[in-house]
Amino acid sequence: MNLVIVESPAKARTLKSYLGDGFSVEASVGHVRDLPKSGLGVDVERGFEPEYVTIEGKGPVLKKLGAAARKADSILLATDPDREGEAIAYHIVEALSGGNRKLRERFRRITFNEITKSAVRAAIDRPGEIDLPRIEAQQARRILDRLVGYKLSPLLWKKIRRGLSAGRVQSVAVRLLVERERERRAFRSGSWWSLRAHLAVDGRAFTAGLATLEGVAVAAGRDFDERTGRLKPGREVVLLDRERAEALRASLADAVFTVAKLQEKRSTRSPYPPFTTATLQQEANRKLNLGARETMRIAQALYEAGRITYMRTDSVTLSEAAISAIRTRVEAKYGAEYLSPRPRRYRTKSRSAQEAHEAIRPAGVEMPTAAELGLRGGQKALYDLIWRRATATQMSDARLRHLSVHIEAGDARFRASGKVIEFPGFFRAYVEGSDDPEAALENQEVVLPDMREGQELACRKLESRSHETKPPPRYTDAALVKELEADGIGRPSTYASIISTVLDRGYAVRRNKQLIPTFIAFAVTALLEDHFPNLVDTGFTSEMEEALDEIARGNVDWRAYLEGFYSGRDGLEARLLEHEEAIDPREASTVRLGNLTPRVRIGRYGPFLELERDGGRLTASIPDGIAPADLGDEEALELLEKSAEGPDRLGEDPESGETIYLMEGRFGPYVQRGEAARGAAKPKRASLPGHVRPEEVTLATALKLLAMPTPLGMHPESGEPVKVGIGRYGPYVVHQSDFRSLVGGDDPLDITFDRAMQLLSAPKTRGRRASAKPMRTVGDHPEDKQPIAIYKGRYGPYVKHGRMNASLPKGVEPDDVTVPLALDLLRKRRERDAAKKAGAGRGGARRKASGK
């Protein structure tokens, strides 16, 4: 019997369908060993020896794999063909064989770039050994990240705020976001006016823009300095303001518009290379509005189902078999005229690219479409994107004709540009930035009417328009991935996790696809720039990546490299000792923003404003949603003034006699009963509904809000109250823990019982309880035979049996969960709950004894 070990159950199921009798396939469910979660886990004194431990929840998995391995004649490690896959294979061998030499000799390594029957069979026929230099490179990377993270993060806790983290690649990515936000803050808008002529010839209309006046170019956005908002020094241009633009428009009202010059040229466009990990993430973000993490999750599922080749690659190489298959499909689908004259072969420019991998393409040699495979939803959209990009690589060039028309009217010269696609070529399959190539072809064309030099044109209208320069755009997932790849920061396979970490740590928020850095990101970046500049320098981090690649090639000793980075006079350890005492916590927690009178500080509960005035100190919380680049001096001073004035007093509660206040907090305006006092219970508060403005709030409104959740009536079936309230996620109605959010025009202050019953009777559309069906059923519990299932929760997927829930560990996908793993997670959840309960009891006893 041959045992094949892969990472995921989904991949295992696909392989089982290809391998017949004589093979069993088991999954490790990702990594099985890693550095411990607590502590450094690296013995610096013993040559940076890592201290690996079994990952939580993987004990039953290893036990099952060990039992299968002892029965097998040969064990084939078929983990992914990259450094992480190599590391998983290595740790499986170490964990299962231990000192058993005979068992160790039965392990062989196989790799394949696509999960097709032919590729898997070919790999089994050519087994090899684990690539130790790649293991050392992966290990060096892991230790390097641990040294940076575990040594710098505690420093951030001491100097700025607890819970912060630093990372070798993460901190560089955060700095890129912060630098762009600084540019936006420093930006000064420039304004100008333009003139546009609506012209016609032989009844066909077109528009032309003013290009020159008396032979001098008219100013446009590119002529302005972003930091001053004024024209760049040395620019010889005519700057139109409103008055001059209107005067010019009036003077040209009776002018004769004549074609002065026609310029025509032709160009060709060649198709883009096939997708790498980075370019797939960028296009999926632009075209499908998918984040990097979601793109990789869908791509992983497609790969494991045998639909696409391996999706973690920085190579644009296509195999000869793939090229032949694509060309056959192009000719059949689009016709011979759309096939490139010769096969196109792409080569990766990056020295570190793994040419043994292929680019991302449809697996196999049939090139089926998404419709032919019966794909749906996200998988259909992403596969179609990959199919089109790969197909376009073997299609003919697109041929375009460009026409530029120069039109004279007195001393003014206007210009109109046109573009015609004479032959679409690869555009038929793929247009960058568009998910509908046929529609994009029409949008790309700007057709001008036929004209000749000296011909008079009819001017139907002259239009003056105002313009302002725009600040540099914030990064999106796509733009950040592109920048990281261009700078050689990290590896494409890590970009999705980098962006997720930056968001999870609170260094940025995603809003309308933009990644907006927070004030905390500014403080952390400034500290690192001042005291550890190498760690946030793109050039230095890129050199680290190259060094890791050299380790993978066997050219550099990994221990010697780590020694140079960490130890010695200029190493990380020495710099930590040197700077720790020199860093002033008050200075480190102060965000430096130019042109702002108050200071921005990072406090325990978030960013706040601080200003010294008349010997006193004013402070005010910065409401959530204000980006660092958008916080102006006027707004900041207004927040401080409002805070200094204190809360608005609305009146007294007729029942308790306590004062009712209207206040402004980090999460917006709210009302409060009574005052907060040290050691006393927190006063009752209630947020204002979205449609209620602070100036509209009366004492009666405040009392209504503070009384929530308010009974509306009794449910006719249960006899229990139906209530309305406002919670963390907005207004709601509830009956016996069954919640429904209010919609549209529903007002929590005047909603009726009948309307509440109508909302409660409708099926849920979101939330944990909304999904009556689990994501998947893992199997039956061996004790009570009740199902164990995976559900989608607010904080991620979780396993559920009866009333017991357990979150999935980081890195474990729903498809990876087996019954043994689920039982282990549920057991540990029960043990944690029991420990908490016991601890609470002991704590209560101690408090009682102390009080006595």
Q: What is the pLDDT of residues 34-70, one digit of tens each?
A: 999 888 999 999 999 999 999 988 999 999 999 999 9
In 387-470 the beta strands, taken as DSSP E runs, fall at: 398-409, 412-423, 456-468
Tell me the H-state helices in 252-376. Answer: 277-288, 292-304, 320-334, 370-373
Cα separation, 192 vs 608, whole angstroms = 37
Selected residue with higher pLDDT from 790 and 770: 790
Q: Which residues are catalytic?
A: 310
Predicted local confidence at residue 368, as pLDDT:
94
70-87 residue pLDDT tens: 999 999 999 999 889 999
Using a pLDDT cut of 70, give the percent of the chain over it: 94
Angle at which helices 538-552 and 132-159 pack, to 10 degrees? Answer: 150
* pLDDT value of residue 765: 60
143-161 per-position pLDDT tens digit = 999 999 999 999 999 999 8
Per the listing, tokens 């040197």 go with 578
For strand 257-269 and strand 107-109, is the pairing parallel, antiparallel, or unpaired?
A: unpaired
The band of 803, judged by pLDDT with boundaries at 50, 70 and 90, is: confident
pLDDT at 795 > cutoff 70? no
Higher pLDDT, 692 or 337: 337
pLDDT for position 647: 77
| Helix 132-159, helix 558-566: angle, nearest 10 | 20
Residue 604 confidence class, pLDDT cut points 50, 70, 90: confident
Q: What is the pLDDT of residue 580?
A: 86
Contacts of range 755-763, beta carbons closer than 8 Å, 24 or more positions apart: 756/712, 756/713, 756/722, 756/724, 757/715, 757/722, 759/733, 760/722, 760/733, 760/735
Q: Which residues contact 596 (CB under 8 A, 6 or more apart)?
A: 631, 632, 633, 636
Do residues 603 and 622 lie in contact, with contact meaning Cβ atoms separated by under 8 Å? Answer: no
> Does the pLDDT value for residue 816 go beyond 90?
no
Please tell me the predicted confidence (pLDDT) of residue 563.
Answer: 93
| Position 393 pLDDT exceeds 50 | yes
pLDDT at 532: 92
Interatomic CA distance for residues 580 and 833, integer angstroms: 39
Count CA within 13 A, CB hemisphere, residue 636: 23
Mapped onto helix, strand or coil, the DSSP state of residue 256 is coil
What pLDDT, on the 0 to 100 scale, is given for residue 838? Answer: 64
Residues 640-660 pLDDT 10s: 888 877 778 888 988 888 899
Residue positions counted in the chain: 852
pLDDT at 302 over 50: yes
Residue 100 is predicted with a pLDDT of: 83
Digit-coded pLDDT (tens) for 699-743: 988 998 998 999 999 998 888 999 998 887 788 999 988 888 888
For 488-535, how does the pLDDT look when each residue is reduced to its tens digit (9 = 90+)?
888 888 898 899 999 988 999 999 889 999 999 999 999 999 999 999
The pLDDT, as a whole number, for residue 436 is 60
State the chain's mean pLDDT as an integer.
88
Q: What is the reported pLDDT for 837?
A: 65
Alpha-carbon torsion (203, 209, 213, 214), positive or negative: negative
Using the Cα atoms of residue 247, residue 250, residue 254 and residue 255 in order, give the sign of their dihedral. Answer: positive
836: pLDDT strictly greater than 70: no
pLDDT confidence band for 848 (50 / 70 / 90): very low
Least confident piece of the model among 516-525, 750-759, 797-806: 797-806
Q: How confident is the model at residue 768 (pLDDT cuts 50, 70, 90)?
A: very low
Distance of CA 213 to the CA centre of its chain: 47
Write out the H or E segment, with its range, that includes residue 561.
helix 558-566
Give residue 849's pLDDT.
41
**Do residues 706 and 660 make contact, with C-beta atoms less than 8 angstroms apart?**
yes
Binned at pLDDT 50, 70 and 90, residue 769 comes out as very low
Task: Average the pLDDT over each of 241-250, 463-472, 577-586 and give the range with the smallest value.
Answer: 577-586
* pLDDT for the residue 852: 32
Residues 158-196 pLDDT 10s: 999 888 889 999 999 999 999 999 999 999 999 999 999
Rounded to whole angstroms, how far apart are CA atoms 684 and 646?
18
